[in-house]
Amino acid sequence: MLTLHSHLKNNMAKELSPKKYIETNARKLPIYKCMVNSNWEATNMANVIIMRQHVNGNVTVGIYLVDLSCLGIKDTFFYFNESVNKVDDKLEAKSGFFKQIDYNLAHNIVFAGHDYALDYDIKPHPDFSFTKFILEEDNDEIPLIDIHVGSSDGKPHLILQPGQSAKYKPVYDKLVKNLGKDNFYYTIEVSDFNDLDSDVDNEEQEQDGDDKWDSIDDFPIGTIKISDAMNIDLDDLSNQEKVENRITNEMLTLNVELALRIIRFKRSELFYSEDELDNKLEYLLYQNSEEFPAWISDEMLEEFAEMMESDIFNYRQLKKETDAEDILIQFDIDRVIENIDNYQDNPYVVSMLYEKAILQKNEIAISAVKPIIKKLAFQHVTHLLELALCSYYLKESDPSLSYIIEGTDIRKVFPNAKGFSEVELYLFAMLRLLVYTRDGNLKEAIYYYYFAGLVQKENPIFILIQGEFDLFIEDEFRKAYDEIEKEVGI
């Protein structure tokens, strides 16, 4: 039975949900500032940023990655009730990459891409269902501005990164069905090695024309993922100053990508071709997967977001009082233990806390939460995969999990599963990456590393696995690098 206190607490939590606030109140906040990447017209890819200001001076920010060539709202996320300085730091707004624009232009860019994609039945990123409320309603009150969409002749141009063919095959099929193969363009951007791969025959890239390599500076601080690093210019990957200006996770991702880029130049046989990737089991399963398994509800995700918001707020308050690293670390450890008590009935939060406890080497928290994970493993494939992954990472001996750790086909490991979500495919990919890293199977480790990067979900333990993989490829990287130096006479 709910007490009055717990009833009020639950109601307050719902009222404070960032997602619910955005859906109901964001449009009531005045526009503070709008920005877009300076080269959006040349690249046909716009990072549109809309800031609305709260009465406390903080801002809620909507960020929209708009592919004006074909895909429309390719990605979107938000920052809720953050200080302007914090947002500027995250977005590198002062770096010159972004330029300030008026709201009407920002609005038109977003909806030009959105509407163009919908013309071909290409849906926006799922999170646009609520980040759209940071924008004004799209009606006649917004002056219409002509925004160029499609390629130079107006035809859709589907531009994909390596390994994305399977994920976007439904889009490709829709374009073929609605337009025919001759009425749109299709390009896979090859992330090889700039000048090092000048002899590689890439007909599609030659037809496409301009060099599409990205700069590290193109990405706001904290946003570079594995799939982004694959398309960053080699000179930038080698630029120690630029790399060291990023946060820890990004630095590791950029260093691993540099190593793999050099290894690939000398050992191309270790990398599956695009055609081979399209037929790999995980890519085929990913093509038809839902983002989350059915047992994860919106309420669980909202509760997780509220917990994170509370933890971040309390951490920042403490940081105003002290910069003592040991105190801040202990605070983070104590919060995990406290949250296990507060959220033990939320299986999704419990998963995140288990992994964060492992990241912290927090033995008290691991001991408290592991029995909960073991019980949940009888109910969900997700938790059984997580239990196997974490146990294997910790080098715990558990014969009951060996069939999962040794299994190379997720369908055979879980023959009764009707399908697999992106979250479950990600957990499986991390487990295979770790197994092949420790077994010394470089080709399969590289495959699962890039597949994990394609899916890339919230998961605290990934940085630990990525760190092991980084050490694993170090010798191969050094050998390839030395060979290149000899060849060019350095």
| Model confidence pLDDT, tens digit, residues 96-105 | 468 889 999 9
- The pLDDT, as a whole number, for residue 314 is 86
Average pLDDT over residues 366-395: 92
- The pLDDT, as a whole number, for residue 434 is 96
- The pLDDT, as a whole number, for residue 85 is 83
* pLDDT level of residue 371 (50, 70, 90 thresholds): very high
The tokens describing 247, both together, are 């946060």
Q: Where are the domains of the chain?
A: 18-160
Distances (CA, A) of 288 to 166, 304, 458: 9, 26, 20
Q: Which residue has the higher pLDDT, 392 or 177?
A: 392
Answer for the pair 277, 454: CB distance below 8 angstroms, yes or no: no
pLDDT at 255 over 60: yes
Look-up: residue for tokens 């790999």? 280
Q: Which amino acid does the sequence have at 157?
A: H
**CB neighbours of 71 closer than 8 A, spacing ≥ 6?**
113, 117, 122, 158, 168, 171
Cα torsion 390, 395, 399, 402: sign = positive
Helix intervals (H) in 59-202: 84-91, 103-119, 128-131, 169-179
pLDDT at 457 over 90: no
Average pLDDT over residues 48-53: 94
Nearest to 47 by CA among 233, 212, 220, 190: 220
pLDDT at 199 over 50: no
Provide the angle, in degrees to the nearest 10, between the axes of the packed helices 18-25 and 4-15: 60
The tokens describing 305, both together, are 């977001």
In a 3-state reduction of DSSP, which class is residue 25? helix
pLDDT at 461 over 70: yes
Query: In the predicted model, what is the mean pLDDT of the chain?
Result: 84
Distances (CA, A) of 330 to 318, 334, 335, 360: 11, 6, 9, 10
pLDDT at 359 over 80: yes
Answer for the pair 434, 388: CB distance below 8 angstroms, yes or no: no
- The pLDDT, as a whole number, for residue 480 is 87
Share of the chain above pLDDT 90, in %: 41
Average pLDDT over residues 459-487: 87
72-82 β-sheet, strand order: 72-82, 59-67, 45-53, 31-37, 98-101
- The pLDDT, as a whole number, for residue 188 is 62
Task: Give the integer Cα–Cα distance in Å for 72 and 35.
Answer: 18
The tokens describing 164, both together, are 């994305």
